[in-house]
Amino acid sequence: MVSSTVNVVRYTALFSGVFYGWYHLRTLKAEAAKSNIDSASHHQQKLIAEAKAAWKQKQERAAGASPSEVISDPEHPAFDLEKLLTSWDKTS
């Protein structure tokens, strides 16, 4: 027969291990959730920075359009008659 002291030590070790496992799993899940949130935030900031850079390039291209960049070929798919007439009006 096993003494009661040995049973107390066994069950104390068992419940301590279960409690430690639960606490450790909870800690790991919290760290993983925080890591996912940080990763998503970083990805969103990266996308915003890329969008701002693309918008800035688009604005610079639109503002820097000179008469020499106007397409005068009516067969070209990007031909714009209004831009062509405006450029001719500015040069006259």
Q: How many domains does the chain have?
A: 1
- 24: in domain: yes
- 56: in domain: yes
Question: How do residues 3-17 score in pLDDT, each as one tens digit?
Answer: 999 999 999 999 999
**15: containing domain:** 4-65
What distance separates the 2 farthest-apart alpha carbons in the chain?
A: 113
- 51: in domain: yes
Provide the mean pLDDT of the chain.
Answer: 89
The single-letter code of the amino acid at 63 is A
Virtual torsion, Cα 38, 39, 44, 46, nearest 10 deg: 110
Question: How do residues 51-91 score in pLDDT, each as one tens digit?
Answer: 999 999 888 777 665 545 788 888 888 888 888 888 888 87
For residues 21 and 66, which has the higher predicted lDDT (pLDDT)? 21
Backbone angles phi, psi at 73, to 5 degrees: -85, 115
Q: How far apart are CA 43 and CA 37, in angstroms?
A: 10
Q: How far apart are CA 87 and CA 65, in angstroms?
A: 10
